[in-house]
Structure 1
Amino acid sequence: MTPDRTTTAPDERWVTFVRGTNRPGTVAAVTAVFATRGISFDSLATGDADDEVGLVVVTFRTTERRQRELVRAVDRLAAVSGVVVRRAEDLGVRAAGVVHVPRGVAFRPPEEAAVSWSGDAAQGQPVLVEGPLVDVELVVDAARAAGATSSAIVIQPPERVTG
């Protein structure tokens, strides 16, 4: 039997941190690079902006080869001053999540999740969870299964995002 040469490498999840000029069009230029390569976002967030520089955080799925091509293209944009990319499963990719479970539901994060957390879900308080992105996502998924009415995840940028 002949091997199937159309088989491609499996898609992996990636987190890209893009530092760029804080001006109209920067986010559009970054998103255009993804769009022209047929790569959809799992999430897109902006933040950590001052008068001159801002941050765009994108999670997406693709092969390692296409990820490298994408990062090179984003890094060449005139408005971009730095790009850092990590596998989403990298334990160094840190996140914070907030979930709101209905009053009376005694929610606790799964024991296998290496997170710190605060809040009393049973009293109707939001629960704040911090740790590796994959573990924060595990907790948010568990909270949704327990009846969480709202949730949010913020991916924390690495210390430096430079080219």
Structure 2
Amino acid sequence: MTEIPRTPLLLGFAGLLPFVWSVLTVLQPGLAEWGARTLGPRFAGAYVMLFYGAIILSFMSGVLWGFATRLHGARATTGYILSVLPALWAFFTTGGGVTSAGLSLIAGFIAILGIDWFFWRQGAAPDWWMQLRILLTIVVTTCLAIGVIFS
């Protein structure tokens, strides 16, 4: 196993903050009320994780597109096609309420691991990529599951 560089690890953890905040506001109504009053209603409850989750799936499409640029021929074509799927998934599946959107996001984040693995196996992603992605995906999907269950 290759050690995850400090900067991507710290930025990855920072990217988890909205998911964790959302869980805290789902589980603690008083905190949700404070967050809604202080930060605005879109910064409390399950809305945070659903909105941010769709943004992160779209962000991951951009990351994966970057990996696709490192491939050639049919593998590049496959890579470009795979790279747009997370954004399209987020766009087409995150409506319909907390349960539906949350489950769709969970499926999307788990599916990205397969796409990540494709790029990693092709040598287009860094050696440490899968370690980071698995770690982040566990936290994200756990937060989304809590949001689905308790919202």
After TM superposition, is the score higher than 0.5?
no
Q: In proportion to residue count, which structure has more strand?
A: 1
Q: In proportion to residue count, which structure has more helix?
A: 2
Q: Calculate the TM-score normalised by the size of structure 1.
A: 0.34
Q: Which has the higher contact order (CA 8 A, sep 6+)?
A: 2
Tell which structure's C-alpha radius of gyration is larger: 1
Q: Calculate the TM-score normalised by the size of structure 2.
A: 0.36
